[in-house]
A and B are shown apart, each in its own frame.
Chain A
């Protein structure tokens, strides 16, 4: 019964939260309408969605968000220094990160996280060989970057979505 009305509970929750956030919903009417949206949007958009991975561990997910936020701040400082420093010292590089995960959605999430942390932009996910192609602004040691991405981001994501 639950499954029938909420095929994507997480999507429903996201829609509801976004609605509350956008409208600053204080009144009961707005809240009810948000609930209606949370019910309708996943049902209507169901054909578009691929098989979703299940969020199995919410607490490590929160921890991951915290680490991610901190990384954005520290990486920003590092890249800021690189950008105003002497440019000839930069060693930009393409780095291939072999992935252990095998889920398109989680791979997209990982790619987005890599793109949002400054200094690295993900360019492609090769779904035949499961390789994430990353461009780094300054990677004197590409292997270290590969290890960092795998340990810091891929491992927790694999754990969170159990894939």
Chain B
């Protein structure tokens, strides 16, 4: 720790704060946004820049320690996150669309029924 230069310490601290800020913003988005599909945008944001900055901070911190070499685990974490996050988002969005489509179909049927019911007594007049 003591060999870590002040500049590196500042960089690591700044990256951790930045990462935490974006994870927080992602959570705020998740809580505030009005419906499912807009809410989906919150977490995707948190995983990219938020976790990205935290991982970068981790990589710098462990790479500048005197007893170890370069720390590259973080790159692997980032890689796996980046190839899995879109899959989750895609599956969630598709599931939501299917449910919505079902709900909309039901709705249309009921409004159609209602209209039929409404127009039925009128038809003898017409």
Contact = CB atoms under 8 A, between A and B. Distances in A.
B76 A18 contact: yes
Given A21-B75, A79-B41, A87 B90 contact: no
Nearest to B91: A123
Interface residues of B, number: 36
A76 B50 CA distance: 9
Interface residues of A, number: 29
B13 interface: no
Q: Which of A20, A73, A79 gathers the greatest number of chain B CB atoms within 10 Å?
A: A79
B38 A92 contact: yes
A84 B69 contact: no
B72 A83 contact: no
A10 interface: no
Given A87-B33, A116-B85, A111 B49 contact: no
A5 B87 CA distance: 31
A112 B44 CA distance: 11
A90 B45 CA distance: 17
A26 B69 contact: yes
Interface of B: 22, 25, 28-29, 32-35, 37-38, 40-42, 44-45, 48-49, 52, 69-73, 75-76, 79, 82-83, 85-87, 89-90, 93-94, 97
A75 to B, nearest CB: 8
A146 interface: no
Contacts of A20: 72
A64 B45 CA distance: 20
Contact of B71 (A18, A24, A112, A121): A24
